[in-house]
Amino acid sequence: MCSEKIRKLSYSLAINEAFHQTMERDTSVIFIGQGVKSPWYVGDTALGLIDRFTEERVIDTPVSENAMTGAAVGAAIVGMRPVVVHPRCDFMMYALDPIINEAANWHYMSGGHSSVPVVFWGVINRSGEQAAQHSQAIHAFFAHTPGLKVVMPATAYDAKGLLISAIQDDNPVVFIDDRWLYRTEDYVPEEFYSVPIGKGVVHRKGKDVTLVAISYMVPEAMKAAEELQLKGIDVEVVDPRTIKPLDEDIIIESAKKTGRVIVADVGWQSFGVAAQISALVSEKAFSSLKAPVKRIALPDIPAPASRTLEKAYYPMSADIITAINKMIVD
């Protein structure tokens, strides 16, 4: 990595740069999805792509998630490397058949003869009084399914590097991001680079408590950690970056060091990623634990519209701080 070429870039433009660089290098990369022509749908993530790579490779589609996602899977089966975007991952539910029944199982069902190098990109659109069908985070569905890899980058650096890895992977990869991250900035190298799938990162070292944060909960976790530092509580923030395959070592190592684990996820609490990580820590670091593992996640309630209800619905840094204070005191 050449440090001279590192500059600050927004999360959404980091995604855009990943597209420019992969599409330039590999003509089999195509970008399919509703609204790739429209900033209203995809922000500036698709900026300049049609001009550069034409509508043959940057394909806006009818509202047919099932068929168009299936078409991406079919194109991948015959050797293309499609990325199919669902600008609201709620609509991705229509495409669960090609994603799960077909793509996830395909390599296995074929006895290893065929593979599906496709990226299913879903965007979480939390809050904004958009209610239950425009706000859902469904990454746990995908992580539950054998044959899918699931990445959830929280920084612009990881967004670019993980999108490049996802496109280059010979397997179906679900790439989930959050609209709230799009304006966040990070140092992003101009060079073509990748972030390995299945490797987490420690964003902040600490000795008192391990805070495992997913996607948008990472900036909230960092905020919480900084505030707690002022009170003398030293929080280690671990970002798995990939939900599946999960970097178990980085979580267990940290859990053994601090003895206290809090998991903050952007999905629903029950049967979700936080539950999975909690079970993992119980299985592999039980004797190191000083307190039960705590989950911070969405309640088992559909996303509400009204802002007063939204405020109660989405956990933020204050909720993390409360949970950590309680854990330390207990």
Partner 1 sequence: MCPVHLYTGQEAVAAGICCHLNPDDYIFSNHRSHGHYLAKGGDLKKLIAEVYCKEKGCSRGRGGSMHVYDLEAGMMGSAPIVAGTISLALGAALASRIRKDNRVSITFLGDGATGEGVLYESLNYAALKKLPIIFVCENNYYSTHLPISEIRVSDQIYKVAQPFGVKTHRVDGNDVLAVSDVAREAVSLCREGQGPVFIEAMTYRMRGHVGPDDNIQGTHTDIRPKEEIEQWRLKDPLTRFEKYLVENNVCTQAYLSDIQECLQKEIEEAHHEACQDAFPDSKEIAKYVFRENT
Q: Footprint of partner 1 on this chain (CB under 8 A)?
A: 30, 56-57, 59, 61-62, 64, 66-80, 82, 97-98, 101-102, 106-115, 146-147, 149, 168-171
Cβ closest to partner 1, residue 167 vs residue 252: 167
Cβ closest to partner 1, residue 2 vs residue 78: 78
Min separation Cβ 56 and partner 1, Å:
6
Computed on alpha carbons and rounded to an integer, the radius of gyration of the chain in Å comes to: 20
Cβ closest to partner 1, residue 114 vs residue 306: 114
Min separation Cβ 107 and partner 1, Å:
5
Q: Are 178 and 33 in contact (CB under 8 A)?
A: no
* DSSP states of 132-187: TTSS---HHHHHTSTT-EEE---SHHHHHHHHHHHHH-SS-EEEEEEGGGTT-EEE
Q: Given the DSSP bridges, would you call strands 185-189 and 6-10 parallel, antiparallel or unpaired?
A: antiparallel
User: From CA 221, how far away is CA 296, in angstroms rounded?
Assistant: 11
User: From CA 117, how far away is CA 72, in angstroms rounded?
Assistant: 10
Cβ closest to partner 1, residue 72 vs residue 277: 72
* DSSP states of 2-64: -GGGEEEEEHHHHHHHHHHHHHHH-TTEEEEETTTT-HHHHTTTTTTHHHHHHHHHEEE--S-
Min separation Cβ 105 and partner 1, Å:
8
Cβ closest to partner 1, residue 129 vs residue 170: 170
Min separation Cβ 81 and partner 1, Å:
10
Give the residue among 326, 276, 328 at the shortest CA–CA distance from 297.
276
Residue 251 has a CB neighbour count (10 Å cut-off) of 22
Among residues 86, 134, 139, 203, the one annotated as catalytic is: 134
Cβ closest to partner 1, residue 84 vs residue 218: 84
Min separation Cβ 74 and partner 1, Å:
2
Residue 185: both structure tokens together: 């900035």
Provide the CA 215 distance to its chain's centre, in angstroms.
5
Q: Are 324 and 224 in contact (CB under 8 A)?
A: yes
Min separation Cβ 148 and partner 1, Å:
9
User: From CA 128, how far away is CA 222, in angstroms rounded?
Assistant: 23
Catalytic-residue membership of 134: yes
User: From CA 280, how far away is CA 293, in angstroms rounded?
Assistant: 10
Catalytic residues: 134
